[in-house]
Structure 1
Amino acid sequence: MHSCGVKSLYRTIQRILILLILSGSSALAGEQRPQLLLHGVSGELDENIRSLVDVSRYQCELPSWRFKRIQERTEKDTNKALRALGYYNAKIEVDRTNDNQCWSMEILVTAGKQVTIETVNIVVTGGLENTQGMQQFWKNLPVQTGSALNHADYEKIKLDISSLASQYGYFSGEFTTRELRIDRQKNLAFIELKFRAGERTKIGAIQLEQSQFKDKFINKYLTIKEGDEFNSAKLTEQQSALNDSGYFSVVNIEVDRKASKDETIPIKITLQPRKRHAYRIGLGASTNEGPRVSFKFEDRWLNRRAHSYILNTSWSPIVAETGINYTIPLGNAGTHKLDLGLGFKDEDVDASNSQTTKLAAKLTRVRSNGWKLISSIEFLRENFSTADSNDITQLVTPGIGYSKSVRDNPLFPRSGWRLSTNLKLASRDFFSDINLAQLTGSAKIVRPVNNNRILARAGAGFSEVDEFSKLPASLRFFAGGDNSVRGFDYKSLGPVDSNGEVTGGKNFLTGSLEYEHSIKKNWGLAIFVDAGNSFNNFNDYEIKKSVGIGGRFHSPIGPIRLDFAHDLDASGSDIRLHLSMGPDL
């Protein structure tokens, strides 16, 4: 019995293997499939018919009764594809042809004229018609009287109205009339849609699930409140505000429509904290400062009131600095904060040497139009030496600044601009060694030119000081370097003393125009012209000019620039190399 069972099992396996081999051979031999031969149409009509009529799914060998059904189905689907694009009086001829290996379905189409829309009557009532989204809908309405009929446009209208109703909380809204009538004899279409929005839902109780901060602080970031009219776009803005705060790794907003009652809907916001501590070691280089190493430690939320601090330190052959900044959030949604900072800086360049201690308090407000207002007061003590001075100066400088930046991409903007201005004052009557009024400003714009870019920047600074020799080196103006006038050394331009040594100036004006040509996805070539200088009065303003070319690499951490610039005032053909990193805006 045992031997017979083994033989029986062996024969069964043998048969299965033979069947598998035969089926595999059949699959390999069955590469031939029926084809669709389409005549009389092209473009969108051709694509639409082929998307509905697929004869390749059939076998080459079929009984005759199957062919008749396939032929009927083909004619029906072709007519459906044509009507979807507004061709209601088309003539269709379907025939099957054979060759030695397989058959083909041949379709001859005479499309005729496309149906024209005679009337469009769309009525929306119940409050939805007054929303901003609905106003935009009317501006972008895809159908007009006299335009050609396309069923996709008609369906899009219905979908857009339903989507807007859901966005604005009209969850009980419905179409009372949905009609697309076709007069085939006159080749005309008549559209009539009526939508009744019903009652608008309001935001109900807002449940916060988090243990990281005090609710009083989180409430400052809430842009929605109980009783507001429902708007899903406002919920998206709320999620962005919480994400942009930098405090949370996960922000989840749930809308429970099943739990809605009395035309209100509850909202649940779940927050999970980011990692509290962060460390970063950075390596960089520029021709202004040479190689640079930096270290940053951040405590993102020191307490339940979301106070935070950042410790920064960096070193290069030219500049060494260390600073700590303590931030206290104020106001709503992160638009108001107080920064307290202490910093030490040692800078040694050819034109000056300085050791600076700075203690500052800055109050920042971000207005609804995006402008940032910074009010500040700084204590500065600087031990400095220049060609004309060697002194220690102490200043207490109140200041105010405005700035705004608009860009379409933070790392590689193709379009955007940045504008900033700052005013600081000092008085001998207010703990300062000199009287000073200093105004600075800068502007930069980026604009696309096909696949390339134009970048323009300008900078200016003006000072009134009663004793220039005691003006610290850090508050004097110099020009030259990677981000000033290329073709010249860092801080090598400005007024000079009787020995030709640069002393720095009370004022400065600089500008640059650059064209960047894209050559690969992350690579580009640039040509540029720079001009400007620092000076003490306009009669002595000597504009220094340079031109150059450069390479651009848009790395994941920001653009890297390698420029070769030539001083147009130089008698020779010297070329100066400039390497710089950092965002364009």
Structure 2
Amino acid sequence: MFLKLGQTRRSRRISRLATCAFVAAALAAAPFCTSAWAIDFERDVTIEGLTSQSLRNELRALSNLVETDRNYTSLAAIRRTAQDDADRMLEALTSKGYYAASIVPKVVRSDDRALITFEIDRGPRFNITDYRISYQDEIAADRPQTFSEADVKTENDPSGEALVRLENQFLTWLQQNGYPAARANRHFVEANFDTGNAVAVFEITTGPEAYFGEAIVQETDRTRETFIAAYAPWEEGTLYNRDEVVDYREKLGKTGLFQQITVEPGQTQPDGRTDLIVTVTERDHRTVGAGVSYATDVGPGVSLYWQNRNLMRRGETLTAQAKLSSPEQIVGLTFGKPLPTLPGRFESAISFTNDITDAFDAQTLELSSSLSKTWFAEKLEASGGLGIVYSEVEDARARLSTTDEFEADTFTFAKIPFSLSWNSDNDLLNPTRGFRAGIGLTPYVGDVNFLRGTLTGATRTTLGDENQYTLAIRGLVGSSFGVDTNDIPATERFYAGGGGSVRGFAYQEAGPLDAEGNPLGGASIIEVNTEARYNLREKIQLAVFLDGGTVSDSEVPDFSEEVLWGAGIGARYLTPIGPLRVDLATPLNPRDSDDAVQFYIALGQPF
């Protein structure tokens, strides 16, 4: 018995071991068995019931069965995905105004292929016959009951995009007319399936009617709160208008003092008064910068500057700068003070300039001050000022009268510049749209007495499907009245030629020259520049240009004299601080003294 019992136990133990081994082998073989028996269905998707190919393509793009590479090993998973696709397609049709649309997805197996068909009954596109505004709060105010009362035009368009557009336009009107807290709760349509018409319902909450209070500035690091509040364009007690709040924020941004600005309406008081809460994060108010340039006519150039943008905590700027190149070296110090309540700006400057050019050698010291006022969101500016100038000048015209050495002429005079300008450029360094024009009159009183006038203009426009092309045009006309050209200090004459003038001609040389090829300058000038720019890539532009100009001794430009023309090609690399510009130009009607090619490198567009 014992032996038999032992033999039985042993048999059972062997049986258990064999069973475990079989199970382990089966589990190990499971992946291979699965891959051998599972089917990775290929999918054919068909959309039926639509005559519009563009709409069919739009709905296909919403299908995960079409657009994803997921592997499906069961028809159940394909059916679930097909239903999800149908729901998305139905939502898309509803958003286009097909409120009665229906979509039935069908899935049929054909060997290892799944045939998916979306049977679509689009139904009629509904018409919006009425728009209803449903206010969700009860207030004592005369709010518009229809879109027309809010100057919002309806188009009977049933699409969701059109309804959202109308909703946003209505909210904008509310926020521009006394309701800073206006918001949309939801919008929906009530469709009549028998007539194919629908009513759009907009549920709106406005909050109480509000009137401007004061700008309350939260604690700042350095800038005085009264200075920040002074930029507020509204009058206290006037009806709240979001546009004035946006204007206020933009004005604060243009000061350059802040890296973050938040302006939010506070709690509306029982009398309707609503203060604006202003929070700012200040930038570092000191800046050091440098720039470089190069041109074949003047060689390399370097500019350096240091600026304190908040000298006395009210946005005052103190700028020290130096511009150094072969023909001209300038050092100067400028103090500027914004006047937000004017609105405008006061500036005072002192500068010393050393000119060493083919036209003249001069050392000039100038003290100046100016006051400006702006209108129309700073697009229109009027400016007037006073400058006292002391200059020692030796110029090419004086060399014509003698071959002997002579002393430089000394000039002391005051100039009183007045200007009126309009600037709607959309960017400071790389404008692509906008118009800039200006007229300037400057009387000179002292050792010389005359009147100088200038008229300038520049415009740009974009062309092409994606604004790939930019066409830029610039013009300048200048005149000097009441003086002979020889009596005008060489530093105050007109000159043309160079990278910012008539490209293709050397600096100051697009005008009359003496026998040795030195520029003489003149009493009047005319310049015209055209440039076409092409966006080759996101940050690379190519350009072709044609420049023309001339300088004459007459008080007004003499159009009978030869206009000098230059043309060329260029490239611009668009950097965060403006385009890096490279231009290659040649004169089209050169004189014997003109070089065949001029090359320019600078930062910023030429105009």
Short-chain TM bin: 0.7 to 0.9
Distance 1:305 1:70 in 2: 63
SS in 2 for 1:443: strand
Which residue matches 1:218? 228
Matches of residues 475-554 of structure 1 in structure 2 within 5 Å? Answer: 475-495=492-512, 502-537=519-554, 542-554=561-573
Deviation at 1:110, TM superposition (A): 4.0
Q: Would the alpha carbon gap of residues 477 and 159 (structure 1) be closer, same or farther in structure 2, given more than 3 Å must change? A: closer
Corresponding residue to 1:350 among 350, 354, 358: 358
Distance 2:146 2:233 in 1: 19
Q: Percent identity?
A: 19
Alignment TM-score, normalising by the size of structure 1: 0.80
Which residue matches 2:241? 231
Distance 1:380 1:38 in 2: 82
Letter matched to residue 551 of structure 1: G
Contact 2:64 2:81 in 1 (8 A): no
Which residue matches 1:473? 490
Distance 1:469 1:501 in 2: 15
Distance 1:131 1:404 in 2: 39
Corresponding residue to 1:44 among 40, 55, 61: 55
Contact 1:382 1:392 in 2 (8 A): yes
Deviation at 1:202, TM superposition (A): 3.0
Distance 1:77 1:426 in 2: 75
Q: Would the alpha carbon gap of residues 233 and 578 (structure 1) be closer, same or farther in structure 2, given more than 3 Å must change? A: same
Q: Would the alpha carbon gap of residues 501 and 553 (structure 1) be closer, same or farther in structure 2, given more than 3 Å must change? A: closer
Which residue matches 1:371? 380
Deviation at 1:372, TM superposition (A): 1.4
Q: Would the alpha carbon gap of residues 292 and 571 (structure 1) be closer, same or farther in structure 2, given more than 3 Å must change? A: closer
Distance 1:182 1:193 in 2: 14
SS in 1 for 2:152: helix
Deviation at 1:378, TM superposition (A): 0.6
Q: Would the alpha carbon gap of residues 226 and 481 (structure 1) be closer, same or farther in structure 2, given more than 3 Å must change? A: same
Distance 2:411 2:276 in 1: 58
Q: How many residues align?
A: 555
Which residue matches 1:446? 460
Post-superposition Cα deviations, 1:428-487, rounded to whole Å, max 9, x if no partner, equal: xxxx11211111222222222322222222212111244644421111122222222233
Alignment TM-score, normalising by the size of structure 2: 0.78
Letter matched to residue 485 of structure 1: V
Q: Would the alpha carbon gap of residues 464 and 30 (structure 1) be closer, same or farther in structure 2, given more than 3 Å must change? A: farther
Q: Would the alpha carbon gap of residues 500 and 421 (structure 1) be closer, same or farther in structure 2, given more than 3 Å must change? A: same
Can you give the 5+ residue segments of structure 2 that lack an aligned partner in the other structure? 1-19, 136-140, 399-407
2:126 is the alignment partner of 1:107: no
Computed over aligned residues only, the root mean square deviation of the Cα atoms, in angstroms, reads 4.2
Which residue matches 2:451? 437
Which residue matches 1:85? 96
SS in 2 for 1:137: coil
Matches of residues 69-84 of structure 1 in structure 2 within 5 Å? Answer: 81-84=92-95
Can you give the 5+ residue segments of structure 1 that lack an aligned partner in the other structure? 1-10
Contact 2:295 2:598 in 1 (8 A): no
Contact 2:584 2:600 in 1 (8 A): yes
Which residue matches 1:563? 584
Q: Would the alpha carbon gap of residues 289 and 406 (structure 1) be closer, same or farther in structure 2, given more than 3 Å must change? A: farther
Which residue matches 1:7? none
Matches of residues 45-444 of structure 1 in structure 2 within 5 Å? Answer: 47-48=58-59, 51=62, 60-61=73-74, 81-87=92-98, 93-101=104-112, 103-117=114-128, 119-122=129-132, 127=142, 129=144, 137-138=152-153, 141=154, 143-144=155-156, 149-154=158-163, 156-158=165-167, 160-162=169-171, 164-165=173-174, 168-170=177-179, 180-191=189-200, 199-204=208-213, 206-209=215-218, 210-224=220-234, 226-256=236-266, 263-332=272-341, 335-368=343-376, 370-389=379-398, 390-427=408-445, 432-444=446-458
Q: Would the alpha carbon gap of residues 328 and 181 (structure 1) be closer, same or farther in structure 2, given more than 3 Å must change? A: closer
Contact 1:415 1:446 in 2 (8 A): yes
Distance 2:82 2:521 in 1: 89
Contact 2:469 2:535 in 1 (8 A): yes
Deviation at 1:33, TM superposition (A): 7.8
Post-superposition Cα deviations, 1:130-185, rounded to whole Å, max 9, x if no partner, equal: 999975632xx3x33xx6x3344345534553565456553787999977443333
SS in 2 for 1:407: coil
Distance 2:304 2:80 in 1: 76
Letter matched to residue 375 of structure 2: R
2:600 is the alignment partner of 1:583: no
Q: Whose radius of gyration is greater, 1 or 2?
A: 2
Contact 1:336 1:363 in 2 (8 A): yes
SS in 2 for 1:221: coil
Which stretch of structure 1 is more off in the superposition, 314-323 or 99-108?
99-108
Letter matched to residue 240 of structure 2: F
Letter matched to residue 61 of structure 1: S
Deviation at 1:279, TM superposition (A): 1.3
Distance 2:547 2:574 in 1: 25
SS in 2 for 1:295: strand
Post-superposition Cα deviations, 1:355-374, rounded to whole Å, max 9, x if no partner, equal: 11111011121123621111
Distance 1:297 1:574 in 2: 37
Q: Would the alpha carbon gap of residues 503 and 132 (structure 1) be closer, same or farther in structure 2, given more than 3 Å must change? A: farther
Letter matched to residue 240 of structure 1: E
Post-superposition Cα deviations, 1:221-261, rounded to whole Å, max 9, x if no partner, equal: 2234654433334323222211211122332334455x865
SS in 2 for 1:222: coil
Contact 2:133 2:146 in 1 (8 A): no
